[in-house]
A and B are shown apart, each in its own frame.
Chain A
Amino acid sequence: MRMRDYFQDKLGLLFLALVSLVMILMLCLAFKVPLEAIWAISCLYLFTLGAMFCLSFFKKKRFYTDFIQNMERLDKKYYILETLSMPNFYEGKILYDGLYVINKAMIEHVKNYELQMDDFKEYIEMWIHEVKIPLATLTLMFHNRKEYDKKVLEQLRRIESYLDQVLYYVRQEFAEKDYLIKKNSLEKMVNNVLVKNKDDFLENQIELEVRDLDFDVFTDSKWTLFILNQIINNSVKYMDDMKDKRIWIFGSEDESSIYLHIRDNGIGIPLQDIPKVFEKSFTGENGRKRSRSTGMGLYISKKLCEKLGHKIWLESREQEYTEVIIAFAKNDYYQVLER
């Protein structure tokens, strides 16, 4: 709060005070008050006026200066009240109390939404677990009747995969900490996903080449399984029927990280689409051509990777290959924990 602005604001009052001074002086002259007395009255008047302004200015200055500065500095503006001390003048108190009430109302409002969100998240999670029970029953039923058609199981697998997409979308969007990082074997996780998708590979006559996976990485295995499943589903989905279909899965490492590569010789991704494949709801040219893409798989995968502290990116050339790489950091901190 600056002195100049404050006085500018009080210009009207100041003008009124001066007018009243002039009138007092005129009265004094009319009553023939001695000149010395008039001088004394004017001085006293002006001194009182000045003192009054200064007093009220400095009283407010501290509070408002803090208010303005903190407002600028704060990242989350709604915490402003927490940074101010209760002012000792009337208008300040009104403002302070007002802010308090607004804040409280807003917190309650947001809390309400948070609760609704939590309820919704919880409901979705529960619902998905419930749906998985009949899904498991169906899988068993078809398995038990030996003459089942593999295609039925494939469709059940697809339902499961889409269900997982919703589950993990909800988890990454609303859950602060719904994961647990521990040591996991890369080979086991890859194996788990490959066995799950076995029928898809055999049905589509896709050759698999898996090597160099003898690494342990620190991650949440359930989340990683979901991510791998999404990537591999994509590879299967975007195969090139003209070629001998092939997927390579292998690991590598350098000083800082362990890398998992998943490479296919499918239709690839157009150059202009590559930077956007991890965006929400992005389907791109391939998604439109093959017409069954929600554009959520890679988006959710990337989000999950970010939360887990892994990096994920993709290299591709149209008509030639797509390679997704996940980097698991070798974190000394985790190693210490291990010991």
Chain B
Amino acid sequence: MKKILIVEDDRSIVSELEALLIHAGYAVEILKDFQNALEEVLKILPDLILLDINIPYLNGEVLLQSLRKVSNIPVIMVTSRASETDEVLSMSYGADDYVTKPYNPTILLLRIQAVLKRSEKTLDTVSFKDAVVYIQKGMIKKGDIEVFLTKNEMIIFNYLLNHQNVIVTRDELMTDLWNNNEYINDNALTVNISRLRAKLKEVGLGEAIETRKGMGYILS
């Protein structure tokens, strides 16, 4: 399980962020001692840091700078300061991404996922049950049977693959699709999911996607 460190001094936002991340399947650590922030961070050694700019004692940019001298831990700056200068400055100090508050929670999770993926070797193929999924090609292969997915279907399936065994809401799927420049509506999403199911059935995975009424879908 990936470990994410939250560096943020507003308590209520910390607890909500924690809930969001835990639900998404991450382990969460929270920085408590801002006075010795750098030592604390290095002690915890997270896989990714969500770093606010306005933190006590030293600001986030300074912490990032001193962190970059000793470590390459991916950092996403999360801040309410929405100015290009702040963003460029943060990126030049070595931040991996920059998100402004208030953010769409699903988008934040997608950004985290993207940064984590970048920091490890990207897997182009994923195996699911006894089938192999070629993400770039949009193909599922089982034995001799090959099924090709459309772009939309692949986005949906990929999202489900990344969130196996948890309920994925339609809103999350929709956000991911829109985030990938596919501006579809509710009906189109329903159609895409039923097409995806039909294609999965061809490789013997007909029951893989379950509908949870009023909540969403679950891949298991």
* Residues of A bordering B, CB below 8 Å: 128-130, 132-141, 143-144, 146, 156, 160, 164, 167, 178-180, 182, 187, 191, 194-196, 198, 201-202, 205, 207-208, 210, 220-223
- Chain B stretch 1-24: residues in CB contact (< 8 A) with chain A: 10, 12-13, 16-17, 19-20, 23
Encoded as 1 (CB less than 8 Å from any A CB) or 0, chain B from 170 to 201 comes to 00001100110101011000000000000000
Which residues in A have their C-beta under 8 angstroms from that of B10? Answer: 133, 137
Which residues in B have their C-beta under 8 angstroms from that of A196? Answer: 104
Which residues in A have their C-beta under 8 angstroms from that of B107? Answer: 195
Name which residue of chain A comes closest to B87, CB basis.
A222
Taking a contact as CB atoms under 8 Å apart, the answer to whether A136 and B87 are in contact is no
Name which residue of chain A comes closest to B103, CB basis.
A136
B43 adjacent to chain A (CB < 8 Å): no
Taking a contact as CB atoms under 8 Å apart, the answer to whether B84 and A198 are in contact is no
Which residues in A have their C-beta under 8 angstroms from that of B104? Answer: 139, 195-196
Taking a contact as CB atoms under 8 Å apart, the answer to whether A160 and B84 are in contact is no
Tell me how far the C-beta of B185 lies from the nearest C-beta in chain A, rounded to whole angstroms: 6
Name which residue of chain A comes closest to B174, CB basis.
A198
B164 adjacent to chain A (CB < 8 Å): no
* Of B31-39, B66-74, B75-83, B125-133, the one with at least 4 CB within 8 A of chain A: B75-83
Which residue in B20, B87, B102, B185 is a CB contact (below 8 Å) of A207? B185
Which residues in A have their C-beta under 8 angstroms from that of B102? Answer: 132, 135-136, 138-139, 156, 160
Taking a contact as CB atoms under 8 Å apart, the answer to whether A202 and B186 are in contact is yes
Which residues in A have their C-beta under 8 angstroms from that of B12? Answer: 134, 137
Cα of A135 to Cα of B178 in the assembled complex, Å = 23
Name which residue of chain A comes closest to B8, CB basis.
A133
Tell me how far the C-beta of A52 lies from the nearest C-beta in chain B, rounded to whole angstroms: 66
Cα of A331 to Cα of B108 in the assembled complex, Å = 34
Cα of A327 to Cα of B102 in the assembled complex, Å = 29
Cα of A142 to Cα of B143 in the assembled complex, Å = 44
Taking a contact as CB atoms under 8 Å apart, the answer to whether A132 and B20 are in contact is no
Which residues in B have their C-beta under 8 angstroms from that of A146? Answer: 169, 215
Which residue in A143, A156, A167 is a CB contact (below 8 Å) of B20? A143
A195-B104, A207-B185 are known contacts. Are A137 and B16 too (CB-CB below 8 A)?
yes
Cα of A196 to Cα of B183 in the assembled complex, Å = 12
Taking a contact as CB atoms under 8 Å apart, the answer to whether A129 and B80 are in contact is yes
Which residue in A130, A139, A140, A198 is a CB contact (below 8 Å) of B175? A198
Which residue in B17, B84, B106 is a CB contact (below 8 Å) of A182? B84
Cα of A133 to Cα of B215 in the assembled complex, Å = 28
B105 adjacent to chain A (CB < 8 Å): yes
Name which residue of chain A comes closest to B12, CB basis.
A137
Which residues in A have their C-beta under 8 angstroms from that of B16? Answer: 137, 140-141, 144
Cα of A187 to Cα of B80 in the assembled complex, Å = 23
Tell me how far the C-beta of A305 lies from the nearest C-beta in chain B, rounded to whole angstroms: 15
Taking a contact as CB atoms under 8 Å apart, the answer to whether B17 and A130 are in contact is no
Tell me how far the C-beta of B159 lies from the nearest C-beta in chain A, rounded to whole angstroms: 15
A144-B20, A182-B84, A182-B88 are known contacts. Are A135 and B101 too (CB-CB below 8 A)?
yes
Cα of A136 to Cα of B14 in the assembled complex, Å = 11
A129-B80, A132-B80, A222-B82 are known contacts. Are A139 and B103 too (CB-CB below 8 A)?
yes
Taking a contact as CB atoms under 8 Å apart, the answer to whether A222 and B13 are in contact is no
Most buried by A among B12, B54, B83: B83
Tell me how far the C-beta of A9 lies from the nearest C-beta in chain B, rounded to whole angstroms: 59
Name which residue of chain B comes closest to A131, CB basis.
B80
A136-B101, A140-B20 are known contacts. Are A210 and B183 too (CB-CB below 8 A)?
yes
B122 adjacent to chain A (CB < 8 Å): no
Which residues in A have their C-beta under 8 angstroms from that of B183? Answer: 194, 201, 208, 210
Taking a contact as CB atoms under 8 Å apart, the answer to whether B174 and A202 are in contact is yes
Tell me how far the C-beta of B157 lies from the nearest C-beta in chain A, rounded to whole angstroms: 20
A129-B80, A132-B80, A222-B83 are known contacts. Are A191 and B179 too (CB-CB below 8 A)?
yes
Which residues in A have their C-beta under 8 angstroms from that of B136? Answer: none
Which residues in B have their C-beta under 8 angstroms from that of A187? Answer: 181
Tell me how far the C-beta of B79 lies from the nearest C-beta in chain A, rounded to whole angstroms: 8
Taking a contact as CB atoms under 8 Å apart, the answer to whether A144 and B185 are in contact is no
Which residues in A have their C-beta under 8 angstroms from that of B185? Answer: 202, 205, 207
**Contacts A139-B102, A180-B85, A182-B88 known; 6 new A-B pairs at CB < 8 A:** A135-B101, A140-B13, A143-B20, A143-B106, A180-B84, A222-B84
Which residues in B have their C-beta under 8 angstroms from that of A135? Answer: 101-102
Which residue in B23, B54, B101, B178 is a CB contact (below 8 Å) of A144? B23
Q: Which 7 A-B pairs have the closest CB atoms?
A: A140-B16, A136-B102, A136-B101, A132-B80, A208-B183, A180-B84, A129-B80
Cα of A222 to Cα of B204 in the assembled complex, Å = 48
Which residue in B17, B81, B84, B178 is a CB contact (below 8 Å) of A140? B17
Tell me how far the C-beta of A243 lies from the nearest C-beta in chain B, rounded to whole angstroms: 16
Taking a contact as CB atoms under 8 Å apart, the answer to whether B84 and A179 are in contact is yes
Which residues in A have their C-beta under 8 angstroms from that of B80? Answer: 128-130, 132-133, 136
Which residues in A have their C-beta under 8 angstroms from that of B179? Answer: 191, 195
- Chain B stretch 112-151: residues in CB contact (< 8 A) with chain A: none
Taking a contact as CB atoms under 8 Å apart, the answer to whether A143 and B84 are in contact is no
Tell me how far the C-beta of B93 lies from the nearest C-beta in chain A, rounded to whole angstroms: 15
